[in-house]
Amino acid sequence: MKKMIMVNGRMADAIRWDGVNIAEIRELAGEKLMEPHLCMGFLYLFIATEDGISQCNEGDWVAKDTDCNLHVLKAEDMQ
């Protein structure tokens, strides 16, 4: 599911990582999405952001702002 949110004062397209929507995340993040990592039955994503490599867990959001910067937003921060 894609939605518009505010990130650091900028509008951003955001997609919630649900553990299976890798195609949607790949479309948003492009080459900044690294190879997914499977560990104990969970698929973790790693995304290159301007702050470094960020881990995206199931339930977290990946956002791309108007300057094309990527952000990983933790599920607990989005509530």
Q: What is the pLDDT of residues 13-49, one digit of tens each?
A: 999 999 999 999 999 999 999 989 898 888 899 999 9
Residue 64, pLDDT score:
97
The model's pTM is 0.90
Determine phi and psi for 24, rounding to 5 degrees.
Answer: -65, -45
Instruction: List Cα–Cα distances, 14 to 1, 41, 57, 73, in angstroms.
Output: 8, 25, 14, 9
